[in-house]
Structure 1
Amino acid sequence: MGKKAAAVTVCVVVAAAAAAGASVVARRQMKKSAKWSRAMGIVREFQDKCDSPIGKLRNLADAMTVEMHAGLASEGGSKLKMIISYVDNLPTGEEEGCFYALDLGGTNFRVLRVHLGGKDKDIIPTEFVEVPIPPCLMTRSSHELFDFIAEELAKFVATEDEKSHPFPGRQRELGFTFSFPVRQTSISSGTLIKWTKGFSIEDAVGEDVVGELNKAMERVGLDMRVAALVNDTIGTLAGGRYYNPNVVAAIILGTGTNAAYVERANAIPKWQGPLPRSGDMVINMEWGNFRSSHLPLTEYDDDLDVASLNPGEQIFEKMISGMYLGEILRRVMLKMAEEAEFFGDTVPEKLKNPFILRTPHMSTMHHDTSSDLKDVASKLRDILEINNTTLRMRKVIVELCDTIATRGARLSAAGIYGILKKLGREITREGEDQKSVIALDGGLFEHYKKFKQCMESTLKELIGEEASDTIDIIHSNDGSGIGAALLAASHSQYL
């Protein structure tokens, strides 16, 4: 073969190799593009299912109102329990004196001392102590648990100064926040239905928890009575009402969610007792259990529910509360990893762990304003061990955070609107200038700013511009503590 022919052959081979290389690159690009398209398809389908246009939210609010009526009519008449709280007097701001609160809701309990100054109520000075419960007392006997609590309560009371007990001869009074399922029978009594959160004390089930605490306080020589047995939502309502007489409802948006509101006693068909002098009764809705065909449920919500400890229950809570938002995000990301190789050829192992991605992590990523979304990158790296994400990928994660938070916030607003409709306060009536105020508490509301802002703007959208000035949302902090003490004051035996 001559030199010229050899050169031509070399050129042909080089050209073929280059063409083959280009073909490989092109195939890789096509494969990469196809994966991205599949991932974006998963995202768009999820966004479509989460969509909550204003018409759907109005239907949802109407469904909430219908369920409220049904729950007030009879026990078991609705998914909403609409529990009669026996709280018929809310704080007026005139309360004076020193009152105590006991907040028992987990492996620790808090004891608070709250000083109320009547009309001079700008500040409520409080003192408190937090006490861990020895694990062995969580499974032994009712007698041992309540004796331990009473002893710690007595130690705290012993730190009183002269100003802390300004009415000689009066018995001290306590608001008791007991965050376990209870069948309430009066303002200061309720039988334990079951334990949760790691407690398992069989001899306490079916017993009056207030009676057990009262007997324990007697055994340690503590002159104190439980004036009010409450939950944190009702405490939040009390705290809001203390400062603002126009508070009509309270919402908890935290790890879990619930709502309570002030109902007219004569509008509660299942109420059997005499009508209270105030004419009002606070209703604990237990709205986390709300369910409706108008809820924008997705496959991820269904799967989360099936895998939960209480399948078929607390559907509303599983869509809007802090316990679950991060988990919904993880489930969407996992599908993208499994079906579209969004994070590479292998599915990140950490991404398979339920609840590893918490709502505070999601909030941090959602609020990332840096040009390269460095907070998103660090959360993916530190929590899920996902490295080398591109800016385009990180933008998709932020988009998912926004979709999940927006849906939760808009559903929360629809629930509040449903309560306002039940009370007939969703519109402005001629000659009426009284505001309707909603007290809110919980870490989700307090710390997830985009969630809070979206919820508030959606509520205004539902109410309409002309009536939006008549609805206010305020932050009522520590309903499980200060709110319980306030309810002890408003139900004092010395009123």
Structure 2
Amino acid sequence: MGKVSMGVTVVGAAAICAAGALIMRHRMRISNRCVTAADILKELEEKCATPVSKLRQISDAMTVEMHAGLASEGGSKLKMLISYVDNLPTGDEQGVFYALDLGGTNFRVLRVQLTGKSSIECQEFAEVTIPPPLMVGDSQALFDYIAAELAKFVADESEKFQLLAGRTRELGFTFSFPVMQLSIDSGTLIRWTKGFSIEEMVGKDVVQELAKAMKRQGVNMRVSALVNDTVGTLAGGRYSNKDVAVAVILGTGSNAAYVERAQAIPKWHGPHPKSGEMVINMEWGNFRSSHLPITEYDNSLDADSLNPGEQIFEKMISGMYLGEILRRVLLKMAEKAALFGDTVPPKLKTQFILRTPEMSAMHHDTTPDLKVVASKLKDVLEISDTSLSTRKIVVEVCNVMATRGARLAAAGILGILKKTGRDTVRDGEIPNTVIAMDGGLYEHYTEYRHCVEHTLNELLGDEVGKQVKLTHSNDGSGIGAALLAASHSQYA
């Protein structure tokens, strides 16, 4: 009897516990439903706020880090890499030159015919998508793939491009990853960014790897200039406008380069260039400051990334990550506030399924019932029958994330202008400053671009703002690399 009684008691207790658990889960569901998407949106807006006072703190922090990075290697999160470009193109360059622009999930090959009159007579290009496995495979496979595509492009050279007799084709190699430059035509990879991760390539000379691949693929070509995409954009911009002093890339990733006085580079131990200037590749994507408005979504994205703790600034402002941050916010709204109904859409749990082009399309939706938003949610995330109020919330989240990214980018630009004294009156004058901008995010995400421009004017004020111009340098990095190949030609 005792044993039976004990058994009944245990079973009874288990039943009570189970019932209690059901009640608790029910209460939790009710509690979770009390959190609305509007609540999460309001909290997001507060965490992502970028008042002018905060942006000035961020720009000041950027300037401080620039000084530290120029003072010594490893002195700052900003690498402030010496590019070995101390003479930008003059306009006198002549001949046929090639460029290879590797900067993200796609690469471009380009050829130009230079006339020696500050003009490009003709140009041709091709764009190639890199298969994702090659981004995390081995270096030989990646470079062989690139060289094979380059071989196809060279073979298709038309008669209108006249290679001067007795000359070998020369190439400017835009390699948009952190590189420790050793000379104008050599440099070792510091680390990968933008979704690439080929560890055995780190520390190797990227020009040598490309040269070996070109030889294997039968391409007779010399790499005469290794440049970062921002350095290439700066060269391309300067070719047509002598007031270009800064270049900024806002695309899959983000970076900046600018012209610095050689005397302001304490870590430079070589002879001072005749020009008295040196182009600095900042690698500003790795900038970090306590003033940055970092959220739980940024922290989770960083923790799940291929490079945790690195490229924090880039992860907040660039095209590779904006759509993913949006997805993480919408996922929380789905889980905590049932934004898309009682069931969390399975596709919404897939990392990087929501890309920045889709975010841009939804953000720019001007239809009365937000048809574009509905279409994107259905096509990409398989979420059907959304209400207009739900779609409006999605657009608001797009706006918050794009605005934060654009305003932070503008603060970074202000930091460069402060460092070079171009943010104020000098000797009674305000210098004309043109900033060459490139990258798909800046080119195609109109709301983002307008926000960058408006914020920079807001930070500079009317008087200085009139003298600072942002200009879109379409494919500036590719053309700039070809121009630098010409200005550093072995035949020059």
- Give the TM-score range, shorter chain: 0.7 to 0.9
Secondary structure, aligned partner of 2:298: helix
CA distance, structure 2, for counterparts of residue 141 and residue 387 of structure 1: 43
> 2:67: which partner in 1?
69
Q: Distance in 1 between matches of 2:380 and 2:159?
A: 51
How far off its partner does 1:64 sit? 0.2
Structure 1 distance, partners of 2:134, 2:369, is 50
1:327 maps onto 2:314 in alignment: no
Partner of 2:96: 98
2:454 aligned residue (449, 454, 457): 457
Q: Distance in 1 between matches of 2:442 and 2:173?
A: 24
2:104–2:253: 8 Å Cα contact kept in structure 1? no
Q: Which residue of 1 aligns with 2:228?
A: 231
Worse-matched range after superposition: 154-163 or 268-277: 154-163
Q: Does 1:289 align with 2:286?
A: yes
- Give 1:322's aligned amino acid: G
Aligned partners of 1:182 and 1:193 also within 8 Å: yes
Structure 1 CA distance for aligned equivalents of residues 325 and 147 of structure 2: 41
Is contact 2:437–2:470 with CA below 8 Å preserved after alignment?
A: yes
Q: 1:244 aligns with which of 241, 245, 255?
A: 241
* Rounded Cα–Cα distance in structure 1 between residues aligned with 2:76 and 2:396: 36
2:172 aligned counterpart, secondary structure: strand
Give the drift of 1:352. Answer: 1.6
For 1:45, which of 43, 46, 63 is the aligned residue? 43
SS in 2 for 1:273: coil
> 77, 85, 89: which is aligned to 1:79?
77
Of 89-98 and 456-465, more deviation after overlay is shown by 89-98
Indicate conservation of the 8 Å contact 1:139/1:201, yes or no.
Answer: no
Which 5+ residue runs of structure 2 have no aligned equivalent? 1-28
For 1:136 and 1:269, locate their aligned partners in 2 and report how far apart those are by CA, in whole Å. 39
Is 1:325–1:405's contact at 8 Å kept on the other side of the alignment?
A: yes
Q: 1:368 to 1:153 in 2, by over 3 A?
A: closer
1:434-449 alignment, distance < 5 Å: 434-449=431-446
Q: Give the whole-Å Cα distance in 2 for the aligned partners of 1:229 and 1:295.
A: 32
Q: 2:236·2:477 contact (CA, 8 Å) conserved in 1?
A: no
Partner in structure 1 of residue 362 of structure 2: 365
Q: Report % sequence identity.
A: 69
Aligned residue for 1:301? Answer: 298
CA contact (8 A) 1:101 1:177 kept: yes
For 2:433, the aligned partner's letter is: S
Tell me the TM-score normalized by structure 2: 0.85
Partner of 1:177: 174
Q: Distance in 2 between matches of 1:339 and 1:232?
A: 42
User: Greater CA deviation, 90-99 or 217-226?
Assistant: 217-226
Report the alpha carbon displacement of residue 251 of structure 1 after superposing the two structures with TM: 0.8
2:485 maps to a residue whose letter is A
What secondary structure is seen at the aligned counterpart in 2 of 1:70? helix
Separation in structure 2 between the aligned mates of residue 85 and residue 456 of structure 1, nearest angstrom: 27
Cα 1:199–1:423 change in 2 (3 A) is closer
- Deviation string 1:367-387 (CA, Å, 9 cap, x unpaired) is 111111111112122222222
Distance 1:389 1:484 in 2: 47
Give, in angstroms, the shift of residue 192 of structure 1. 3.8
The aligned amino acid for 1:393 is: T
Number of aligned pairs?
462
The question of whether the paired residues in 1 share the 8 Å contact of 2:113 and 2:122 is answered with: yes
Across the aligned residues of Structure 1 and Structure 2, the Cα RMSD in angstroms comes to 3.0
Asked if 1:389 corresponds to 2:386, the answer is: yes
SS for the counterpart of 2:463 is: coil
1:420 counterpart = 2:420: no
Q: CA deviation at 1:109?
A: 5.2
Give the Cα–Cα distance (whole angstroms) in 1 for the partners of residues 81 and 244 of structure 2: 19
Q: Which deviations, in whole Å up to 9, do the C-alpha atoms of 1:234-289 show, x marking residues without a partner? A: 11111111111111111111111111111111111111111111111111111111
Name which of structure 1's ranges 241-250 and 103-112 shifts more when overlaid on structure 2: 103-112
Give the whole-Å Cα distance in 1 for the aligned partners of 2:148 and 2:304. Answer: 41
Task: State how far apart, in whole Å, the 2-side matches of 1:399 and 1:425 are.
Answer: 35
Q: CA deviation at 1:312?
A: 1.1
User: Relative to structure 1, is the Cα distance of residues 119 and 294 closer, same or farther in structure 2, using a 3 angstrom cutoff?
Assistant: same
Residue 39 of structure 1 deviates from its aligned partner by: 2.2
* Aligned residue type for 2:401: I
CA shift, 1:38, in A, is: 2.8
**d(CA) in 1 for partners of 2:109 and 2:380?**
35
Question: Unaligned 5+ residue runs, structure 1?
Answer: 1-30
Residues 417-448 of structure 1 deviation map (CA, whole Å, 9 limit, x = unaligned): 00000000011335435410111111110011
Cα shift readout 1:383-436 (whole Å, capped 9, x = no counterpart): 222222222222121111111111111000000000000000011335435410
After superposition, the Cα gap between the structure-2 partners of 1:385 and 1:414, relative to the gap in structure 1 and judged at 3 Å, is same
Residue aligned with 1:407, SS? helix
Q: 1:159 to 1:419 in 2, by over 3 A?
A: same
Partner amino acid for 2:470? I
What amino acid sits opposite 2:439 in the alignment?
A: G
Equivalent runs, 1:137-152 vs 2, <5 Å: 142=140
Of the candidates 270, 275, 281, which is equivalent to residue 273 of structure 1? 270
Q: 2:14 corresponds to which residue?
A: none
1:486 is aligned to: 483
Which segment drifts farther, 291-300 or 107-116? 107-116
* 1:455-476 residue CA offsets vs partner (Å, 9 max, x unmatched): 1000000000111110000111
Q: For the structure 1 residues 140 and 126, does the alpha-carbon distance in structure 2 shift closer, same or farther, using more than 3 Å as the test?
A: same
Residue 19 of structure 2 aligns with which residue? none
The 1-side partners of 2:380 and 2:213 are apart by 45
Shift of 1:293: 1.0
